[in-house]
Amino acid sequence: MAPKITDQRDIDFVLYEQLKIDALLKSEKYKAFNKKMFDMVIKEARNLAVKEIFPTYTECDKEGVVFENGRVRVPECLRKPHRLLKEGEWGALTEDPEYGGQGLPFTIAQAAMEYFTSANYILTTYPILGHGAGKMIDLFGTSEQKDLFLEKLYTGDWGGTMLLTEPGAGSDVGALTTLARKQDDGTYEICGSKIFITNGEQNLTQNIIHPVLARIEGAPAGTKGISLFIVPKIWVNKDGTLGKPNDIVCTGVEEKMGLHGSPTCSMSLGSKGRCRGLLLGKPNQGMEIMFHMMNEVRLEVGTQAFTSANLAYSHALDYAKERLQGRSIENLADHGADQVPIISHPDVKRMLLKMKSYVEGMRSLIYYIAFCFDKEQTSADKKEALHYANLIEILTPVVKAYTSEKGFDVCVDAMQVFGGYGYTREYPVEQMVRDCKITSIYEGSNGIQAMDFLGRKIAGNKAVMLDALISEIKTTVLKAKTRDRLTMLAAKLEEALILFETTCKNTEKAVFSKHMASAFACAHPLLEAAGDIIMAWMLLWRAVIADKKLETREAFFYQGKIKAAQFFITTLIPVTMGKLLAVTYEDNPAAGMDASLF
């Protein structure tokens, strides 16, 4: 029996019952497709993921990467599936076919990516980073730059990276010291060093294209003076042929808690000769360009955490059904009673239902953001398109931060279901815990996401984005009120939503007052509460659909949707109410804590 790396039926539920994705076929952009084609893409992704990628999951972890003489050798087991991803043109599903894409909707591409990421998310970083680097060139590059790099990046022939972080700057990108000097031929000579560079050096692709943040000599301090450069590992001549190696070299790889099969590199630019780069966009436009890639990558990080959680839940569920231990709660006094599967025990059921709730809510959230991208691009109404753009903006920091934290929690709960076995390498759940943890740290740590959520998405835009989100949630609440089985759940979510909106707007005011530090000390708890509200919304939305289908032959499937919503809203949303009441946006103790008092 093929391993169940994700839930095909629930993916179909989200695509066709919750989001009604086939309605996109009526748009001008996607009129050349049909539902059969969508299903075929997803089926092929599933086959590739199950048969070729998933077998590398634990092998990749055990083999790890090898660094020798400035070169990195990645696990050999990745070579074949990487080649198959390239041959299948899976790297740029949503992009123009002219440059190696397939022109698919974001939501369908998300379904394919769920399979690949579930199977081995180390492997998916190659097409993700290649696509991200290519997208920046697609949006901001010259026609010559597009001709040189775009198809190679989109098809996966060449790898891509993202060089932001420096040893002395960390998350403070504006403090970077990498310098760029313009040369007579229009190129730039670049000198500096970068750290924590995923796939900065690897032996899967012939060339690697590095987008590098640097400061042109004489540029303003801080982020306003940062530019972005295209720096190939091997220089690309004007006719597209490869020239000499560029002076960008890997100086080492990190020994990490997880992601053992992924090279996390330190990179030196211009230390042994001459490192050349091409300016992308305009001088000092670097951060604006980079954010296009960062927002895409943050959605992918949310997907990484979610798929880790989903895989861990699937393993825990199977184990709980098979593992015999103890007597049922009804027969505790009968020492002669047979042992029962641990899924019979109330506390194990609680953990599994909690995991199910988070996993299904996270899937709906991630697909919903992809759907918002589709709606923004296909809507003929500018007001409607702006509405979806606002939803993308406010949901991006939530999906990155909340999903990464709750995804990790699900992995930990899955380990708990396995008991002592879960803590051993005999079962893969311990790898899922290790691999998932990084998602709350990289691509903008969750504290930064919380500051973005409060400072830019709520306070920085007169709550327009917040209003867009709340209006969508209210629509679902109103629908749930018309279903007898769901009226109580709707009322509980509505009560929490009112408190959430009030708390957000009070905290927004504090941002523009003497209590600004206190407000930002509450940013992370506020984002976490927002994630809870959004999970409840997604689960209630699913329950509204399921409630109409309880008489069908899939009654158990739909009953499970309602149970997940009931569990989350009745047992976890009361905790969310407490979180919101604890948001102290004036005179927060953390804001007033002197460093000497710790």
**Four-residue CA torsion sign, 449, 450, 456, 457:** positive
Q: Which domain holds residue 508?
A: 460-598
59 found inside a domain: yes
Model confidence over 460-487: pLDDT tens digits?
877 899 999 999 999 999 999 999 999 9
Among 287, 330, 43, 95, which Cα is nearest to 175's? 287
Question: In the 8-state DSSP scheme, what is residue 208?
Answer: E
Provide the whole-model pTM: 0.95
- 201 and 250 in contact (C-beta within 8 Å)? yes
- Looking at residue 592, its pLDDT comes to 85
Encoded tokens for 490: 């709707």
Can you tell me the distance from the alpha carbon of 442 to that of 175, in angstroms, rounded to the nearest whole number? 18
- 546 and 486 in contact (C-beta within 8 Å)? no
Q: How many CA atoms lie within 13 A of 362 on its CB side?
A: 34
Can you tell me the distance from the alpha carbon of 105 to that of 112, in angstroms, rounded to the nearest whole number? 11
Give percent of the chain above pLDDT 90.
Answer: 88
DSSP 39-94: HHHHHHHHHHIIIIIGGGHHHHHHH--EEETTEEE--GGGHHHHHHHHHTT-TTTT
Cα distances (angstroms) measured from residue 181 to each of 184, 383, 386 = 10, 44, 39
Lowest mean pLDDT among 2-6, 174-178, 447-451, 496-500: 2-6
Model confidence over 186-201: pLDDT tens digits?
999 999 999 999 999 9
30 found inside a domain: yes
Strands 242-245 and 234-236: antiparallel
Total domains, the chain: 2
Cα distances (angstroms) measured from residue 463 to each of 505, 509, 532 = 8, 11, 19
Among 114, 124, 120, which Cα is nearest to 8's? 114
Tell me the H-state helices in 280-381: 286-322, 346-378
Model confidence over 489-538: pLDDT tens digits?
999 999 999 999 999 999 999 999 999 999 999 999 999 999 999 999 99
Give me the residue label for tokens 């969310």: 576
Model confidence over 10-47: pLDDT tens digits?
999 999 999 999 999 999 999 999 999 999 999 999 99
- 92 and 155 in contact (C-beta within 8 Å)? yes
pLDDT at 2 over 50: no
Cα distances (angstroms) measured from residue 128 to each of 132, 299, 305, 322, 514 = 6, 11, 15, 37, 42
pLDDT at 170 over 80: no
Q: How confident is the model at residue 1 (pLDDT cuts 50, 70, 90)?
A: very low
Model confidence over 410-448: pLDDT tens digits?
999 999 999 999 999 999 999 999 999 999 998 889 999
Which residues are bridge partners to 191 per DSSP?
179
Give me the residue label for tokens 């002395």: 168
Give me the residue label for tokens 């509450």: 522
Model confidence over 129-167: pLDDT tens digits?
999 999 999 999 999 999 999 999 999 999 999 999 998
Which CATH number do you get for residue 94? 1.10.540.10
Residue ending a domain, among 126, 155, 184, is 155
Can you tell me the distance from the alpha carbon of 404 to that of 303, in angstroms, rounded to the nearest whole number? 9
Can you tell me the distance from the alpha carbon of 130 to that of 300, in angstroms, rounded to the nearest whole number? 13
Q: Which residues of 492-525 are buried (b: 16+ CB within 10 A; e: fewer)?
A: bbeebbebbbebbeebbebbeeebeebbbbbbbb
Model confidence over 273-289: pLDDT tens digits?
899 999 999 999 999 99
Residue ending a domain, among 125, 155, 185, is 155
Give percent of the chain above pLDDT 70.
Answer: 99
DSSP helix/strand/coil, 586: coil
Q: Residue 420: exposed, middle, or buried by beta-carbon count in 10 A (0-12, 13-18, 19+)?
A: exposed
| Active-site annotation holder among 443, 472, 508, 528 | 443
- Looking at residue 175, its pLDDT comes to 83
- Looking at residue 68, its pLDDT comes to 94
Angle at 39 between CA 480 and CA 555, to 5 degrees: 40
Q: How confident is the model at residue 584 (pLDDT cuts 50, 70, 90)?
A: confident
114 is catalytic: no
Can you tell me the distance from the alpha carbon of 14 to that of 5, in angstroms, rounded to the nearest whole number? 17
326 found inside a domain: no
- 212 and 163 in contact (C-beta within 8 Å)? yes
Model confidence over 290-326: pLDDT tens digits?
887 777 788 999 999 999 999 999 999 999 999 999 9
- 145-153 contacts: CB < 8 A, separation 24 or more? 145/230, 145/278, 145/280, 146/99, 147/240, 148/236, 148/238, 148/240, 149/209, 149/230, 149/236, 150/99, 150/100, 151/99, 151/100, 152/207, 152/209, 153/91, 153/209
Model confidence over 239-270: pLDDT tens digits?
999 999 999 999 999 999 999 999 999 999 99
383 found inside a domain: no
Cα distances (angstroms) measured from residue 306 to each of 30, 399, 406, 572 = 28, 10, 8, 19
124 found inside a domain: yes
- Looking at residue 463, its pLDDT comes to 86
17 found inside a domain: yes
Residue ending a domain, among 106, 132, 155, is 155
pLDDT at 365 over 70: yes
Can you tell me the distance from the alpha carbon of 361 to that of 369, in angstroms, rounded to the nearest whole number? 13
- AA letter at 189: E
214 found inside a domain: no
Q: Residue 450: exposed, middle, or buried by beta-carbon count in 10 A (0-12, 13-18, 19+)?
A: buried
246 found inside a domain: no
Can you tell me the distance from the alpha carbon of 108 to that of 15, in angstroms, rounded to the nearest whole number? 8
Model confidence over 46-78: pLDDT tens digits?
999 999 999 999 999 999 999 998 999 999 999
Can you tell me the distance from the alpha carbon of 388 to that of 51, in angstroms, rounded to the nearest whole number? 37
Q: Residue 143: exposed, middle, or buried by beta-carbon count in 10 A (0-12, 13-18, 19+)?
A: exposed
Can you tell me the distance from the alpha carbon of 269 to that of 189, in angstroms, rounded to the nearest whole number? 9
Average pLDDT, the chain: 94
Among 23, 55, 38, 47, which Cα is nearest to 111's? 38
| Region 209-221 average pLDDT | 95
Task: Indicate the angle between helix axes 286-322 and 382-418, nearest 10 degrees.
Answer: 40
Can you tell me the distance from the alpha carbon of 293 to that of 199, in angstroms, rounded to the nearest whole number? 16
Q: How many CA atoms lie within 13 A of 247 on its CB side?
A: 14
Model confidence over 323-357: pLDDT tens digits?
999 999 988 888 889 999 999 999 999 999 999 99
**Four-residue CA torsion sign, 86, 262, 122, 53:** positive
Can you tell me the distance from the alpha carbon of 2 to that of 5, in angstroms, rounded to the nearest whole number? 9
pLDDT at 383 over 90: yes
- AA letter at 176: L
